Structure 1
């Protein structure tokens, strides 16, 4: 990873926050994407336009993957690629919530090497670079080390606790909590505020790329629902769920998941 990549993402995320907060979520123009792909607002598009102009100009050899840009196969020819969600948690943004985030990452040969998750309305900037640890507002962070799954607090949408996802239909006995932004959920696990997170449905790369590195650099493990490491810049940029936690909690969750269950949870 070129040394300036993380500062580049941090500066871009801060600028994204300035742009997004100029819009009022409840009054920002909003459209529904085709095929039930969710909402998009004028704030998403304004942030994406700035990032798409600024980041590739700074790194002309990198590919580009963003939720709000039509995807092309050109990025597959690049060894490094930007993976961007201009606003993760668009529904929350449109409702006037403070839990939406900008999620910016760079992957090299499928592995994320620099990452930022920024919540401007909460003044929270999570960042990580490969081999350099993870930080929140410049201070080092680490995953929690709760010893037993029964003591753990896990971020997950309620459908993930449907019995068919778990061996013999036995849902683990942990405390469930929820945040609407998937990127924020992952950042909170990296911070140690929660002990793990899971989403068992297919997940877009732009929602999870930055959080993957932040959790790993904070001492945790990220995998798909089959326990395999996450790899990015795939031809179809969607991964088979996310399971993230400290080593022990990750192992305990994975051991109780039904490997034959289809991923339909949120």
Structure 2
């Protein structure tokens, strides 16, 4: 599926504003609940979830679904309806991305959401209220942090670059020799990994293993509108809301960096 190209600076403007308002409100709710203390538990797949995840999911559904009843809904904390995959426009939501950080008292979490059209994001927002950082983007209109325009770095080579990635990302098993010299730092939230690439604080991001649509889609557009790219580990552009929500890893950054990753990465690295 191909996303529609922007024909006007006003394209998706109304939906983008609706999204930003909802994500900001949801982030404020999550921060308030965090300060008050929340219960958490492990889901059947072993990943954590908290009372706040569910409360934020309900709030976003009320603010977004009720206003756009014809749109689909794809959330980490909601069972996907069969009809969602057939919808041309779909809200994708990660109520709290980085739940383990959230319940552990760290500020490395956010509320993230985006709108898909024909499988690609056209409006996105991510709010990290504990950091006072609000990221947003709209197709063809750029990406911003707290109202200021963002742009990825112009770093053209992997060696000496700064990546937000787990240290295991530079293990020999994942790269053809020689292993690139990458300086790694880490944050729990996958969406925030995209965002700090979009700001230029890091040159790129890479993550191995299967990731879900809600982990990737909001940050995908934010990086794209900041002048970068987000691809899977096969070097392919993501298409969301397919039969499976699982995707093959992630790499984000400038075109030059992603081209070099594709060239130097083992094809079995995922």
- TM-aligned CA deviation for residue 79 of structure 1: 0.1
Matched, 1:152 2:161: yes
How many Å separate the matches in 2 of 1:13 and 1:35?
26
Which deviates further from its counterpart, 155-164 or 58-67?
Answer: 155-164
Counting only pairs closer than 5 Å after superposition, residues 63-212 of structure 1 correspond to structure 2 as 63-168=72-177, 170-212=178-220
| Partner in structure 2 of residue 8 of structure 1 | 18
Matched, 1:57 2:97: no
Moved over 6 A (4+): none
Matched, 1:254 2:262: yes
Preserved CA contact (<8 Å) 2:164 2:187:
yes
How many Å separate the matches in 2 of 1:24 and 1:60?
31
Preserved CA contact (<8 Å) 2:12 2:123:
no
- TM-aligned CA deviation for residue 39 of structure 1: 0.6
Preserved CA contact (<8 Å) 2:170 2:182:
no
How many Å separate the matches in 2 of 1:26 and 1:229?
41
Matched, 1:45 2:38: no
Secondary structure of 1:35's aligned partner: coil
Matched, 1:22 2:22: no
- TM-aligned CA deviation for residue 149 of structure 1: 1.5
Preserved CA contact (<8 Å) 2:12 2:122:
no
How many Å separate the matches in 2 of 1:198 and 1:25?
32
Preserved CA contact (<8 Å) 2:156 2:254:
no
Distance 1:26 1:162, change over 3 A: farther
- TM-aligned CA deviation for residue 158 of structure 1: 2.2
* Structure 1 unmatched ranges of 5 or more: none
| Partner in structure 1 of residue 44 of structure 2 | 34
Preserved CA contact (<8 Å) 1:104 1:116:
yes
How many Å separate the matches in 1 of 2:253 and 2:152?
7
How many Å separate the matches in 2 of 1:193 and 1:256?
23
How many Å separate the matches in 2 of 1:39 and 1:260?
29
Which deviates further from its counterpart, 159-168 or 189-198?
Answer: 159-168
How many Å separate the matches in 2 of 1:2 and 1:61?
15
